[in-house]
Amino acid sequence: MKKMEEKDQMSKIIVNENDINIIIEITEEKDVRLLHFSAMPFYTTNEKSDEEYRWHRLVEIQETGENQDDHHSMKHTGTSPGSCLKYIEHKDYRNNQGRKLEIKMEDEGLFVISHLQLIDNIPIVRSWTEIINTGDRERGIEYVSSFALTGIAKEGLQSPENKASLHIPHNTWYGEAQWREYSLSELGLSNVNKFSLKEIGISSTGTWSSYKYLPMGAFENKECNSVLFWQIEHNGSWHWEISDIGDEHLYLQLSGPTESENGWWKNLRQGESFESIPVAIGSVTGDFEDAMGKITQYRRKTRRPNEDNKSLKIIFNDYMNCLEGDPTTEKLIPLIDAAAEVGCEYFCIDCGWYSDGSWWTGVGEWKPSKRRFPNGINEPLEYIRSKGMIPGLWLEIEVMGINCPMVSEISDDWFFKRHGKPIIDHGRYQLDFRNSEVVKHADSVIERLVNEYGIGYIKMDYNINAGLGTETDADSFGEGLLKHNRAYLAWLDKIFEKYPDLVIENCGSGGLRMDYALLSRHSIQSSSDQTDYRKYATIAASVPSAVTPEQCAIWSYPLKDGDLEETAFNMVNAMLMRVHQSGHLAELSDERLSLVREGLEYYKKIRTDIPKSLPFWPLGLPTFEDQWISLGLRCGNKCYIAVWRMESHTDTCCLKIKGFEGKTATVKCTYPQKFISKSLWNKESGILTVKLPNNNTARIFEIELI
């Protein structure tokens, strides 16, 4: 291979920082091209013509009425004014996050600024695009990339079909964070010509940002041992795509909502500006697990600082496999006693507290039911406090049921609309947080919960998908949705500013809004609504790929009719992340309740390590069909390893602990301590062998270098 010669330093912006290499070229014609973005140095196997490099655009923007100059099908390539943008100037400076590049381009009064924010000591760049219309006419925008990179498979000699794989995180209700690895040909992208019309396009449309996929992905070059990885940081619609272009180049483009995929279109009027949604893009030499370690560090560094992600207090929530939306004072008192006895620190009363009976279509006022709480809701809330726990309540602030008494008293401008009518989904209206009256209503609800009821924890749920968006005060349905998404985030920022000690859990029917627009603000995320504790193990082991361990709430819900191994299995599910304790604890046998208590006591001993840990997967990311599952947290010279034996014909499993090869270590089963389990550390191979005697059993092991 021949290393690229640098003929003209003034024509290039070169970054070699944080183990990442970036080369942006500015041609004599003032075209701006992103030639390289990788943990690897820039090598080329042959000299490419200027015609080939023309596809390496820094930004892709499609303007209505302009020629999309490419044989593109539905791909976002050959865009205009993307192809017409000319370099004006750039800034290169440092801020409190790290080095920052701003590259300014222009086309007939349309100024475009590409923002590339490096993060100190992490090989990840936060990227977004700003558009400003200073011209004498309106500009209709159909698509704008937040990040665009052509040549993602250029390193190495093999064809992309032979050397590359794409990691796609499937996500659904009861089945969150299920990564699958594909070759490009398995996804239908094969080398049929210099380029094809097929693209691998992954999108989400609506108010659930992760109902089909997590807003993430990774492209692995196994010949060169490198991974390009990304996350889209948006709580609404988004899109990313990979395909081939030009002379067999592969490109990656990341964006927020688009017109063709998500119904978004923006009429940029004279003097107006628009910012695309931010995305994070990184590169490592190593494997997928190394990439997940780096994005875990990035998430910690870029989220809102808060005490909850340091203390990791244990939450009891009365919903899952417990009261399931039917709380009363009578039912709550024994649960509160049991939760306090085993060591819980928050007690959250889940859904149903605001209605006398069936409540799905009546939500919206958020006032306590007098039938459920004859002496008022303050009675159980005060009882929670008397037991040394912080009380919490469930809330779904963004919706209003069609049978809510407030509906007849307010304007339908509170709601999303399409074609002149309010949108109804699953018996609820979607509230529009651009409406000042909606914001006042939401403010008053939070104020009542915090100041009148003394709430310190809110489970903020969200159980509908409002679809494309709303036509109110918008150029398109998608633009209305994007404005609402941003207005909701602005409201949330003000709530955290006003109530800094308030913990608000992010929930969307479990993990259907698992994105780092919301999670850069919320300290805790509901991972799933999965009710089968055995299936939950697969989700629990996978979800640290989507959320930092200290933000990820996992249910532990011992069953009424379970046994000791079932109780231990439930506890292991949660103990390397955030414990969401539930289940009918007051009805468990003393022996099973002692297992819960043992688990929570052990969790309190190790939880200070969790916010510093990096996740790893000794058996790879799991599927629901796997016979054995494992998740590890690496904390310097110590690892915590959860092991689940599912339905397996063998009673032993070998776990590869990367980086521990050739090192002496101690191994012990730390939970549950009195159960049968055996382990053996093989120093030379770095393999931990564990033996569990029965199916559907789980243990926590600690391995520490000595």
* pLDDT tens-place string over residues 27-37: 999 999 999 99
Kindly write down the DSSP assignment for every residue of 153-171, as one continuous string: T-SSSS-HHHHEEEEEEE-
pLDDT band at 248 (very low <50, low <70, confident <90, very high): low
**Residue 680's CATH number:** 2.60.40
Q: What are the tens digits of pLDDT across the range 334-365?
A: 999 999 999 999 999 999 999 998 889 999 99
- Higher-pLDDT residue of 441 and 8 is 441
pLDDT at 7: 43
pLDDT at 347: 98
Whole-structure pTM value = 0.96
Spatial separation of the C-alpha atoms in residues 36 and 484, rounded to whole Å: 35
**Residue 135's CATH number:** 2.70.98.60
For the chain, give the percent of residues with pLDDT over 90: 91
pLDDT at 513: 98
Clarify whether residues 269 and 326 are in a common domain. Answer: no
Clarify whether residues 585 and 648 are in a common domain. Answer: no
- Select from 612, 630, 664 the last residue of a domain: 612
Q: Give the residue-averaged pLDDT of 302-331.
A: 97
Q: How far is CA 114 from CA 382, 448, 567, in A?
A: 53, 43, 52
pLDDT band at 43 (very low <50, low <70, confident <90, very high): confident
Q: Is residue 450 part of a domain?
A: yes
Q: Give the residue-averaged pLDDT of 631-652.
A: 97
pLDDT band at 82 (very low <50, low <70, confident <90, very high): confident
Interhelix angle for 564-574 vs 590-606, to 10°? Answer: 20
Compute the residue count for the chain.
706
Pairing of strands 346-349, 390-395: parallel
Residue 540 has pLDDT above 90, yes or no: yes
Q: Exposure string (b/e) for 577-615, b if CB count within 10 Å is 16 or more?
A: bbbbbbbbbbebeeebbbbbebbbebbeebbebbbebbb
**Residue 570's CATH number:** 3.20.20.70
Spatial separation of the C-alpha atoms in residues 604 and 669, rounded to whole Å: 17
Spatial separation of the C-alpha atoms in residues 579 and 570, rounded to whole Å: 10
Q: Measuring CA to CA, which residue among 100, 86, 79, 78 is closest to residue 33?
A: 86
Clarify whether residues 550 and 606 are in a common domain. Answer: yes
Clarify whether residues 67 and 128 are in a common domain. Answer: yes
Domain count of the chain? 3
Q: Measuring CA to CA, which residue among 455, 300, 487 is closest to residue 366?
A: 455
Q: Is residue 474 part of a domain?
A: no
Q: What is the 3-state secondary structure (H, E, C) of 217-278?
A: EEEEECCCCEEEEEEECCCCCEEEEEEEECCCEEEEEEECCCHHHHCCCEEECCCCEEECCC
| Structural domain that includes position 698 | 614-705
Clarify whether residues 208 and 343 are in a common domain. Answer: no
Q: Give the residue-averaged pLDDT of 239-253.
A: 90
Residue 3 has pLDDT above 50, yes or no: no
Q: Exposure string (b/e) for 419-437, b if CB count within 10 Å is 16 or more?
A: eeebbbbeebbbbbbbbee
Spatial separation of the C-alpha atoms in residues 144 and 136, rounded to whole Å: 21
Residue 190 has pLDDT above 80, yes or no: no
pLDDT band at 45 (very low <50, low <70, confident <90, very high): low
Clarify whether residues 95 and 244 are in a common domain. Answer: yes
Q: Measuring CA to CA, which residue among 160, 146, 151 is closest to residue 40?
A: 151
Q: How far is CA 382 from CA 60, 118, 355, 545, in A?
A: 57, 48, 20, 38
Q: Measuring CA to CA, which residue among 171, 236, 234 is closest to residue 208?
A: 236
Residue 293 has pLDDT above 60, yes or no: yes
Residue 620 has pLDDT above 60, yes or no: yes
Residue 1 has pLDDT above 50, yes or no: no
pLDDT band at 9 (very low <50, low <70, confident <90, very high): very low
The DSSP secondary-structure symbol of 213 reads: B
- Two tokens at 487? 């207005």
Q: Give the residue-averaged pLDDT of 37-45.
A: 84
- Two tokens at 511? 């993990």
How big, in percent rounded to 5, are the helix, strand and coil portions of the chain? 25, 35, 45
Clarify whether residues 285 and 176 are in a common domain. Answer: yes
Clarify whether residues 51 and 134 are in a common domain. Answer: yes
Spatial separation of the C-alpha atoms in residues 118 and 15, rounded to whole Å: 10
The answer to whether the CB of 317 falls within 8 A of the CB of 580 is: yes
Q: Is residue 418 part of a domain?
A: no
Clarify whether residues 374 and 230 are in a common domain. Answer: no
pLDDT at 522: 98
Spatial separation of the C-alpha atoms in residues 141 and 534, rounded to whole Å: 48
Residue 597 has pLDDT above 60, yes or no: yes
Q: Is residue 1 part of a domain?
A: no
Give strand pairing partners of 458: 393, 504
Clarify whether residues 240 and 320 are in a common domain. Answer: no
Clarify whether residues 595 and 630 are in a common domain. Answer: no
- Select from 259, 280, 302 the last residue of a domain: 302
Spatial separation of the C-alpha atoms in residues 240 and 147, rounded to whole Å: 10
Q: Which residues contact 21 (CB under 8 A, 6 or more apart)?
A: 15, 36, 37, 38, 39, 40, 41, 42
Q: What are the tens digits of pLDDT across the range 443-469?
A: 999 999 999 999 999 999 999 999 999
Q: Is residue 338 part of a domain?
A: yes
Give CA 407 to chain center in angstroms.
Answer: 33
Residue 274 has pLDDT above 90, yes or no: yes
Q: Which residues contact 353 (CB under 8 A, 6 or more apart)?
A: 327, 368, 369, 372, 373, 377, 393, 394
- Select from 559, 580, 612 the last residue of a domain: 612
Q: Measuring CA to CA, which residue among 407, 372, 408 is closest to residue 393?
A: 372
Q: Give the residue-averaged pLDDT of 680-689.
A: 96
Q: Give the residue-averaged pLDDT of 654-670.
A: 96
Q: Which range, 188-202, 536-550, 667-681, is most confident? A: 536-550
Q: Is residue 249 part of a domain?
A: yes
pLDDT at 54: 80
- Two tokens at 312? 């990791």
What is the SS3 assignment for 647? coil
Clarify whether residues 190 and 254 are in a common domain. Answer: yes
Residue 605 has pLDDT above 60, yes or no: yes
pLDDT band at 50 (very low <50, low <70, confident <90, very high): low
Q: Is residue 472 part of a domain?
A: no
- Two tokens at 231? 């996350």
Instruction: Tell me the backbone φ, ψ of residue 62, rounded to 5 degrees.
Output: -110, 125
Q: Give the residue-averaged pLDDT of 508-536.
A: 98
Spatial separation of the C-alpha atoms in residues 152 and 52, rounded to whole Å: 14
Q: Measuring CA to CA, which residue among 567, 572, 598 is closest to residue 583?
A: 567
Arithmetic mean of pLDDT over the chain:
95
Q: Is residue 422 part of a domain?
A: no
437: left (phi over 0), alpha (psi -120 to 50) or beta: alpha
